[in-house]
Chain A
Amino acid sequence: MQFQTGEHNYLRRSQAESTAAELGCLFSGTAPVPAMPKGEQSGSIPPLIDNLEDAPALKIIFPQKKYEILAIDGGSSVLAKGGNIEVIAWRAGCVSFDDINRVDEKCPPPEILAYNRLTVQDILSDYLADTDVTIVSQEQPIRLVDELRWLEEWKLLSRLIENSRPQSLILIDGSLHLNPLYNADSQHGLFKNAAEKKVYLAAVTKTSSLSIDRTTPIDIGIKNNTELNNSIWYKKINQKLKADSLWLGDIYLARLHSGADKQYRVDLNRFDEDNTDEIMGMIASVSDDVEFAGYPYPLAAAHRLARIDSIFKQDMLNSLKIALDNSDFSLELWQYLTRDIHDKLNADIMELTHNDQ
């Protein structure tokens, strides 16, 4: 077989066409998928209602007064790894807004840890020593850095609930799912406490994995079925939770700005269900930023505040290197930990890649 230069860098038309057809099947629901489990399960979400598209949508009304709105997000990064050894960094930060103006922000420098992946349970136990959270699952977290970031956000959330004024809203990036690794009563306790203090909790998921009939993503698949097409609305999409349910939040789909590209999954504290209209109004009132229309701006601000980007990661690696230079740590070992053979292989296209971003 003879190859011509560059012949490998293209996708055959037949391949593209067959993949396109497969995608069409996947989204049309003609491809077979396992049936949805019935009743409350121990997964990450409570069971959704049937006929999501037919569920009634309610108009969101903006609140008459201004509230303090806070937002939490975390950032994490694996700085170096080799074998079972990893160096990880994580943190959580928050911002608070008075209407469109940022009034405060808190974001500490990251925690940093070098560890052996065989000691994850011990690290988590140590980390939780001064909290009422206990590990109840024998399963290992997939990535320790993600778990520590989640716990850092959890701790920050606890502090904010404690210190916030009634009728403040705390926005959380992601969802209000129960973390199965830890005891449910402590997680429930925090959410109940928030509701008792009238501190509202809401989580917004940037890209939801939920889907209609396990195929079409809910954030684009479900359209509003009423005359509210050009308005802002929300609809509850999970089944009613039982009184003793373990779930932390009810799940809603919400279109938070009339010019939004899509609707978002919004989880509200299940113990605040009497205040849903008010809370949705509060969230929508900060979702009219022109750049992030339909997404709460404080969450975008928290994300940018807490993230550990590539420049900061490189900066931390440089600091580590300087510290190691003063010890008898082997340079060869450090290079082993930080070198990614892909970087070397892709060095010729790095510039092009950056330009393309």
Chain B
Amino acid sequence: MTSNRFIGRLIGKSVSELSFRSFYAGHISIGSIVMVDDDDTNRKYLLRVIDVSYGHESSEANWAEKVAGRMMEEDQKDRLYRIHDPERRLYKIVKCSPLGYIQNNKFNRPRSIPTHFSPVLLPDMETMEFLREYSGDLIVGYLRCGEDTMDISLGMDGSTLSQHVGIFATTGMGKSNLMKVLASAIMESKEYGLLIFDPHGEYFDGGREADRKGLKDHPLADSRFFTRTLRNLKGAQVDKLSIPFSEIEIEDITQIFGFSQAQYEALQAIRIKYGKEWLYKLCTKDLESLLEELQSSQLSFHESTMAVLIRRAKRLLEFRTVNKDKSYSTVGDILGKIQNGYTVLVDTANLSQDEETLVTSVITRAVLKSYKRKYQTEGDFEKLSPCLIMLEEAQRVLMASTGDTNIFHRIVREGRKFKVGLGVITQQPKLLSEELLSQLNSMFILGLADERDRNIVRSSSKQDISSLSTEIQTLAAGEALLTSPTVPFALPIKVFLYEDYLKAIKTNYKQTVEKPAEDFF
């Protein structure tokens, strides 16, 4: 076996776990995909490396400890020494999780084991070509083999966007970069709408770091990327973020304030009485006239209850995004764009958390409502682009401890049917409920340092990644695992660095900058 791809021989042990002996000097890392070439069955088995340990040929008890002790003694005395014949005496035992086998260019799930002592090789391009079939239309990176990559582009299937997406990573592991690359892929596909809520202000121009690029730098940004913000951002398609009173519903303000049963009932009564004007009325009428008007409709509430509601409603008025002018609404504008396959960034970077929550809730609810309405209308629904709503720091509104009644939970439960998917971005998936996580059909798992985070993600994945805890723990920045019903196994991906990605695609779009249709606006 002289191939430079040859890395070892299979030594054990079952359908669910295989091991091979590898060379002492060979470098093999967790997450690598290796191939077992089984000539007897004409199958090529693919294995994922899940652990690497030491092995030695000596049958002497505690040999390694003794040799290490001897080395330490020599070290202390500044004496030189070496290990002779290392490839014979020392080796590595590589534990793998079988992924499946390829036979007649078809990938199959593993139900048998390769022949004893079959050679183990680094996979070649020809063998891995089958993965292109599963690469999806939203490409985000290359196939990662341990610390190297292969020239096979991979991503997710856009048809699964409405089945919800999770992006999980500890800070610094590449969430934002992945998000920008995914947003770019969605933008380029022109098939899907994308709504991004950005509380950190990092997606528009890359944030504070000077060498970072944002979505505005994408060659299609002028035609397919829109930003709504209160900040003074420079760029085409940037407009003011504005939510009219009339768009706000009780459900939205319950995200901000806690209400007693009496207060909640009063809110509902006001909503019924004044319709879409309910919040406006609550802010502008004085307490007495409001109580009187309600009483005339046989609705009687305690004065103090109503006083609290008025005070809170007036607080909403202080939010810079909330306006009384119902003639202008960001919400309708956003809806129109995402339903036609455009990307919209709602920049909430300089908003208070309450205001941000309100804005997010109002727009998200409006999206779901609109898609639901179109679902009822034959013909209209088929024309709608599926959409994905990306929610940064998603644990703030999806925390298991806060119940499951808000709009985001509703989207997770119902959105799939109406082509609305939720993108959950968080560095603390352990704070989300298992039920919610199980609804996220696609997951990009980046490096997660916390074991509880890893455990909950592993147990919720659509692929069996129970043996990949160490790999997830050791993922470097920009390395990801993609699990999805449309991929044959959890795909190891090296996500494109957004700045490099832009350089690579800019030449493609130089000549073909597209403008939106004239009648679109």
Contact = CB atoms under 8 A, between A and B. Distances in A.
Interface of A: 97, 100-102, 257-259, 286, 288-293, 297-298, 301
Given A290-B70, A290-B74, A291-B67, A259 B87 contact: no
Contact of A102 (B71, B80, B85): B85
A293 B70 contact: yes
Given A290-B71, A290-B74, A102 B88 contact: yes
Contacts of A100: 82-86
Interface in B8-53: none
Contacts of B80: 288
Contact of B81 (A101, A102, A259, A286): A259
Contacts of B70: 290-291, 293
Contacts of A259: 73-74, 77, 79, 81
Interface residues of B, number: 16
Nearest to B89: A291
Closest 7 CB pairs of A and B: A297-B84, A289-B84, A290-B81, A100-B84, A259-B79, A102-B85, A258-B79
Interface string B51-87: 0000000000000000100110110010111111111
Contacts of B88: 102, 301
A297 B67 contact: no
A289 B82 contact: yes
Given A289-B83, A289-B85, A290-B81, 15 more contacts: A97-B84, A97-B85, A100-B84, A102-B85, A259-B81, A288-B80, A288-B81, A289-B82, A290-B82, A293-B81, A297-B84, A297-B85, A298-B84, A301-B84, A301-B88
B77 to A, nearest CB: 7
Nearest to B69: A290
For B74, B80, B85, the residue with the greatest tally of chain A CB atoms inside 10 Å of its CB is: B85
21 contacts: A97-B84, A100-B83, A100-B85, A101-B85, A101-B86, A102-B85, A102-B87, A257-B79, A258-B77, A258-B79, A259-B81, A286-B84, A288-B82, A288-B84, A289-B81, A289-B82, A289-B84, A290-B71, A291-B83, A293-B74, A297-B84
Contacts of B83: 100, 289-291
A164 to B, nearest CB: 20
A233 B71 CA distance: 22
A155 B444 CA distance: 67
A301 B85 contact: yes
Nearest to A105: B88
Contacts of B85: 97, 100-102, 289, 297, 301
A297 B86 CA distance: 11
A70 to B, nearest CB: 14
A93 to B, nearest CB: 14
B400 to A, nearest CB: 55
A171 B142 CA distance: 53
Nearest to A293: B81
Contacts of B87: 101-102
Contacts of A289: 81-85
Interface in B143-168: none
Contacts of B77: 258-259
Contacts of A292: 84
Contacts of A298: 84
Nearest to B77: A259
For A100, A286, A290, A291, the residue with the greatest tally of chain B CB atoms inside 10 Å of its CB is: A290
B98 to A, nearest CB: 33
A258 B81 CA distance: 10
Contacts of A293: 70, 74, 81
B83 to A, nearest CB: 6
A301 B77 CA distance: 27
B506 to A, nearest CB: 49
For A100, A258, A291, the residue with the greatest tally of chain B CB atoms inside 10 Å of its CB is: A291
A286 B81 CA distance: 10
A291 B85 CA distance: 11
Nearest to A102: B85
A291 B86 CA distance: 12
A101 B83 CA distance: 10
B322 to A, nearest CB: 74
Contacts of B86: 100-101
Contacts of B71: 290
A288 B83 CA distance: 8
A95 to B, nearest CB: 9
A259 B79 CA distance: 7
A291 B89 CA distance: 11
A100 B90 CA distance: 13
Contacts of A102: 85, 87-88
A4 to B, nearest CB: 35
A97 B87 CA distance: 12
Contacts of B74: 259, 290, 293
Nearest to B66: A291
A279 B493 CA distance: 55
B76 to A, nearest CB: 11
Interface in B339-377: none
A233 to B, nearest CB: 15
A101 B90 CA distance: 12
A257 B79 CA distance: 9
Interface string B458-475: 000000000000000000
A286 B82 CA distance: 9
A286 B85 CA distance: 11
Interface in B365-416: none
A301 B86 CA distance: 12
A151 to B, nearest CB: 28
A292 B74 CA distance: 12
Interface in B85-142: 85-88
Contacts of A97: 84-85
A288 B84 CA distance: 8
A96 to B, nearest CB: 11
A310 to B, nearest CB: 12
A346 B82 CA distance: 42
A257 B74 CA distance: 11
A288 B85 CA distance: 12
A305 to B, nearest CB: 10
B133 to A, nearest CB: 43
A291 B73 CA distance: 12
Nearest to A260: B79
B73 to A, nearest CB: 7
Nearest to A286: B84
A257 B84 CA distance: 14
For B67, B74, B84, B86, the residue with the greatest tally of chain A CB atoms inside 10 Å of its CB is: B84
A289 to B, nearest CB: 4
Interface string B493-519: 000000000000000000000000000
A291 B82 CA distance: 9
A231 B81 CA distance: 13
A49 B137 CA distance: 87
For B67, B77, B81, the residue with the greatest tally of chain A CB atoms inside 10 Å of its CB is: B81
A94 B73 CA distance: 32
Nearest to A355: B61
A298 B81 CA distance: 15
A272 B71 CA distance: 35
A250 to B, nearest CB: 27
A186 to B, nearest CB: 34
Contacts of B67: 290-291
B70 to A, nearest CB: 5
A296 to B, nearest CB: 9
Contacts of B81: 257, 259, 288-290, 293
B479 to A, nearest CB: 34
A298 B84 CA distance: 9
A282 to B, nearest CB: 14
A293 B81 CA distance: 8
A263 to B, nearest CB: 16
Nearest to A285: B82
